[in-house]
Chain A
Amino acid sequence: DAMVIQNPRYQVTQFGKPVTLSCSQTLNHNVMYWYQQKSSQAPKLLFHYYDKDFNNEADTPDNFQSRRPNTSFCFLDIRSPGLGDAAMYLCATSRTQYQETQYFGPGTRLLVL
């Protein structure tokens, strides 16, 4: 089945230690998104790629970076995780960037010690 896959499902890191979360998709969608979701809150968009074109949200901290080496894969890099970065990180895809449904992966829950 075509899907959005996130690895790992759970990630533990230390305060200040860089961490990378990964997302892959078999939908062949042009757009990939990264969201941060904290407990009992709605997902918050961090950034997205339309093909190779990177689009950062204005309030996304510089501590968060992303890479998309090809259509199928997208990575979220947190350069120096703080305790406040503990959250669920969700990857989503859409076919295009014009009023298209976004399909979400299962998420990676990040714990910062």
Chain B
Amino acid sequence: GESVGLHLPTLSVQEGDNSIINCAYSNSASDYFIWYKQESGKGPQFIIDIRSNMDKRQGQRVTVLLNKTVKHLSLQIAATQPGDSAVYFCAEIDQTGANNLFFGTGTRLTVIP
């Protein structure tokens, strides 16, 4: 079955530094990927998405990179702020039509002031 996994369960960065959160997936049929941010006690919040016909997409302070060759995507957060502290999940949807999200295990980002 599908497997979406994250390389690191925790990540600590200094305020102002850039953060990189990585995610590996195993389903070659995956062609839509979403990054969610989940703060403690809240629901996942959509950050950015990317489809498989792209290898890079930028938002406000965030960039998602997709490498289909090695089935890897990453979320880059520029100038990390204390408000960025949260658990970040990558999730993928495959081409089969059903809109089921397959979540990775999550990475906890802690920003050190």
A residues at B contact (CB < 8 Å): 4, 6, 31, 40-43, 45, 48, 90, 92, 94, 96-107, 109
Q: Are B43 and A99 in contact (CB under 8 A)?
A: no
B residues at A contact (CB < 8 Å): 31-32, 34, 36, 41-46, 49, 51, 89, 93, 95, 97-101, 103-106
Q: Are B99 and A96 in contact (CB under 8 A)?
A: yes
Identity of the chain A residue whose Cβ is nearest the Cβ of B105 in the assembled complex: A42
Q: In the docked arrangement, what's the CA distance between A54 and B98, Å? A: 13
**Among A90, A92, A99, A103, which residue has the most Cβ atoms of chain B within 10 A?**
A99
Q: In the docked arrangement, what's the CA distance between A44 and B62, Å? A: 26
Chain A residues near B93: list those with CB within 8 A.
99
CB distance from B33 to the nearest CB of A (A): 10
Identity of the chain B residue whose Cβ is nearest the Cβ of A103 in the assembled complex: B46
Identity of the chain A residue whose Cβ is nearest the Cβ of B6 in the assembled complex: A42
Q: In the docked arrangement, what's the CA distance between A103 and B105, Å? A: 19
Q: Are A98 and B99 in contact (CB under 8 A)?
A: yes
Say whether chain A's binding surface is mostly helix, strand, loop, or mixed: loop
Chain B residues near A99: list those with CB within 8 A.
31-32, 51, 93, 95, 99
**Among A41, A102, A107, which residue has the most Cβ atoms of chain B within 10 A?**
A102
Chain B residues near A45: list those with CB within 8 A.
100-101
Q: Are B99 and A104 in contact (CB under 8 A)?
A: no
Q: In the docked arrangement, what's the CA distance between A42 and B34, Å? A: 14
Identity of the chain A residue whose Cβ is nearest the Cβ of B103 in the assembled complex: A42
User: Please, could you name 15 A-B residue pairs with CB atoms under 8 Å apart, sorted by A?
Assistant: A41-B105, A42-B89, A42-B106, A43-B89, A45-B101, A90-B44, A92-B43, A98-B99, A99-B32, A100-B99, A101-B49, A102-B101, A106-B42, A107-B42, A107-B43
Q: In the docked arrangement, what's the CA distance between A97 and B44, Å? A: 19
For B46, give its contact among A42, A48, A101, A106 (CB under 8 Å).
A101
